[in-house]
């Protein structure tokens, strides 16, 4: 079987860690910096970093338009979740609050119960957002203190934390399952 070809948006932030994790899962990884690199991708990861910087650089390089036209699954983590919400690129029907856990307890780790994964997932939160409002098509997959931190809407998966910073590959595997599922639907 041909390996999946997954892009990692590489304008800023934790793209190397995502790329490394995807390579461990035998994926063909493309570091995406230009719109033409969306061609032929089976999915895309938008990493954590700084959402204001992402927005600025994506607009500058035309990556915002390329992403709006991209039809395959997208996994946005932390800042990558923020840029997908109603108030930014408007691709996922959620509204996200930035730095929601407060600046003092800015960063923490916790064990998350995730729908579809049978034992807790260790999650690293760094100046993390949470999901404030979800539209009717959004499925919440994990919460912290009643706040959604992992959600899916169709081909979009969004996480408030950093799955690329632990050894646990299960969320990336879940995303790859989503990619294969979507390919089945489109084939």
Give me the active site residues, please: 78, 162, 164
Looking at 79, 94, 114, 121, which residue binds ligand GLN (CB under 6 A)?
Answer: 79
Q: Which of these segments, 4-12, 30-38, 49-57, 109-117, binds ligand GLN (CB under 6 A)?
A: 49-57
Q: Decide: residue 90, CB within 10 A, 0-12 exposed, 13-18 middle, 19+ buried.
A: exposed
- Residue 34 · residue 136 · CB < 8 Å: no
Residue number with CB closer to ligand GLN (20 or 87): 87
Q: Which of these segments, 24-32, 47-55, 114-122, 144-152, binds ligand GLN (CB under 6 A)?
A: 47-55
- The region, left, alpha or beta by phi > 0 then psi within -120 to 50, assigned to residue 53 is alpha
Vertex 23: Cα angle to 21 and 94 (nearest 5): 50
Report in angstroms how near the CB of residue 70 gets to ligand GLN at its nearest.
21
Both tokens of residue 51? 């959402």
DSSP annotation of 48? S
Residue 127 engages ligand GLN in binding (rule: CB under 6 A) = yes
Looking at 46, 58, 66, 82, which residue binds ligand GLN (CB under 6 A)?
Answer: 82
Binding residues for ligand GLN, rule: CB under 6 A, are 48-51, 78-79, 82, 98-99, 126-127
């Amino acid at each position: 079987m041909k390996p999946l070809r997954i892009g990692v948006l590489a304008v800023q932030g934790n793209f190397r860690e995502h790329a490394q994790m995807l390579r461990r899962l035998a994926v063909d990884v493309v570091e995406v910096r230009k719109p033409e690199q969306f061609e032929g991708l089976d999915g895309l990861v938008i990493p954590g970093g700084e959402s204001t910087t992402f927005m600025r650089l994506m607009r500058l390089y035309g990556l915002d338009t390329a992403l709006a036209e991209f039809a395959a699954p997208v996994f946005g983590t932390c800042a990558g979740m923020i840029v997908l919400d109603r108030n930014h690129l408007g691709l996922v029907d959620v509204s996200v609050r930035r730095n929601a856990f407060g600046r003092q307890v800015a960063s923490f780790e916790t064990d998350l119960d995730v729908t579809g994964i049978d034992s807790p997932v260790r999650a690293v939160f760094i100046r993390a957002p949470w999901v404030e409002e979800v539209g009717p098509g959004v499925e919440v997959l994990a919460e912290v203190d009643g706040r959604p931190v992992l959600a899916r809407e169709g081909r979009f998966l969004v996480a408030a934390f950093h799955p690329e910073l632990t050894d646990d590959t299960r969320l990336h595997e879940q995303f790859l399952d989503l990619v294969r599922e979507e390919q089945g639907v489109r084939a």
